[in-house]
Amino acid sequence: MNPARRPPAALPNPAGPPGPPSSFFILHSSFLLLLLALLVPAPARAQILPGDSQLALSYSGQFVITGSADKSPLLSLPAVTTNAAFINLEPAVLSVSSERIKQSLYRMLGLPSVRDWQGKIYLNLHPALWTDENVTVMARPIDQTWSYHVQLPDVVQTDRFLRGMTGALLLEIANRHNTANGHCANLPAWLIDGLSRQLLQDELARVVLTVPNSPLNLPDRPRKSGQERNLDSLATARQILRNHPALTYDQLAWPSEDQLAGADGGVYHASAQLFVAEILKLKDGPARLRQMLEILPRNYNWQLAFQSVFRQEFPRPLDLEKWWALTVIDFLAHEPGPAWTPTYSASRLNELLQVPVAIRASSNSLPTHATIPLQAVVRDFKLDEQFAILETRLRDLRVAQFRMSSQFIALNDEYCQVIAGYLGERLGPAPRASSAHHPVPTPVRLKPAEYVRRLNALDARRQTVEAAVYRNTPPAL
């Protein structure tokens, strides 16, 4: 069967699992495009070129949009046309949205002018056949410079559209002083996703337009006034990170396909948005990110460019990890949300004090999954593995402290003090633990035996508190 004739019933359910994220391919070819003949002076507004109603230029001339006369069969499905997660694009509308997205992105990065672009961005619309189609961005060298080609379905998920457009614009910024003889800039995923999520949460109604006179998205996407914008663009991220630990910096640097697609409950997207927002708050943060983009093509990977630009703030990778862990704690402390019940607090604290492991009886046997206490980490793991596990547990305990019921606040904080003591870190008491009667003093570095002794003592106290909680909790009906 011709896929273009596939009946609407065969299309995927819009509420189904997300597909893979927008893709970025770097192609090194030297062919000339006929569209380069369209390098005419930029008109005052988005212009539909005469003779072809499916071809448009944006008002700055940077975006060249082409589209098919055919429309997506998805537009006949009410489950799509009434879903605010999708937008319907056509060349004239896309030319306006593209310029608005560029303006908002430039403003976040502190770029002085939207006119200083070097590479054209070609946007090609095609009829969407599936609700989970990707947005594909390709960079191509041509005439000692770069051009960018974005393949877009005409019905697309809003977050994928913004991610693709953000990636294309960042590539153009990074490659401005990079001749086509070199290699294309390698963008970090967290930068693309962090900035695009910021646009999605704060600028969506202003920068993303759908086809006029269409019911698509109108019921569920009200416009924001100027005063309502920028109030808390991280509200969604805060809601997600209240109940799920934020990713570490290493996890942000190497996200999986499921995380990029949002299949982890949005934890990666929330972490990336918060990370970018906090980097921008650093002294000269926007200028530092612009500098990182500029030197990306001259570095083997983006990690080297990031380290070079932010060396003063983060001389070592460990300094960056510590800054990020404290940033997450401070972020959640401003609005911790409702406290957990005593029984859930007991369960959550017990979970955080255990480490999942896979055990094999022999080299050829299948692994069995179990948990071990934090005391066993010191006994059974190498020193670098101990530190990686305990630093993650310390961060998660500090975050959980803001939601613990009153019975477990002091205990939670004392566990943090013991772990920090073994790691050689000195922590002040967390805000809600300031009333603890017996804070544990933190030496420069606890020895393993003292670390185990203190954890054992805390475990005994915790069991007593848990027993009292469960005695006073009425049975569920």
pLDDT category of residue 329 using cuts at 50, 70 and 90: confident
Express each pLDDT in 268-297 by its tens digit.
999 999 999 999 999 999 999 999 999 999
pLDDT band at 118 (very low <50, low <70, confident <90, very high): confident
| Residue with more model confidence, 1 or 421 | 421
Mean of pLDDT values over 203-231: 52
d(CA 392, CA 411): 18
**What is the CA 352 to chain-centroid distance, rounded?**
24
- Please tell me the pTM assigned to this model: 0.67
18-219+232-331: CATH topology: Neutral Protease; domain 2 (1.10.390)
**Which range (53-57, 190-194, 332-336, 435-439) has the least confidence?**
435-439
Query: pLDDT confidence of 474, banded at 50, 70, 90?
Result: low
Quote the percentage of the chain above a pLDDT of 70. 77
DSSP 147-192: EEEEEEESEEEHHHHHHHHHHHHHHHHHTTT--TTSPPP---HHHH
Q: Do 417 and 392 touch, CB atoms closer than 8 A?
A: no
For the residues 119-136, what does the mean pLDDT come to? 92
Give pLDDT tens digits for 37-75: 223 333 334 444 444 457 888 989 999 999 988 889 998
Are 262 and 18 in contact by the 8 Å Cβ rule? The answer is yes
The contacts of residue 262 (CB under 8 Å, 6+ apart) are 18, 159, 268, 269
Sort strands 55-57 and 47-48 into parallel, antiparallel or unpaired.
antiparallel
Taking residues 459-466, report their average pLDDT. 93
Q: Which residue has the higher pLDDT, 327 or 28?
A: 327
Residue 333 burial (CB count, 10 A): 15
* Domain ranges in the chain with CATH number 1.10.390: 18-219+232-331
Helix (H, G, I), strand (E, B) or coil at 371: strand
Tens digits of per-residue pLDDT, 15-36?
444 444 555 544 433 332 322 2
Which token pair is 288? 């530092």
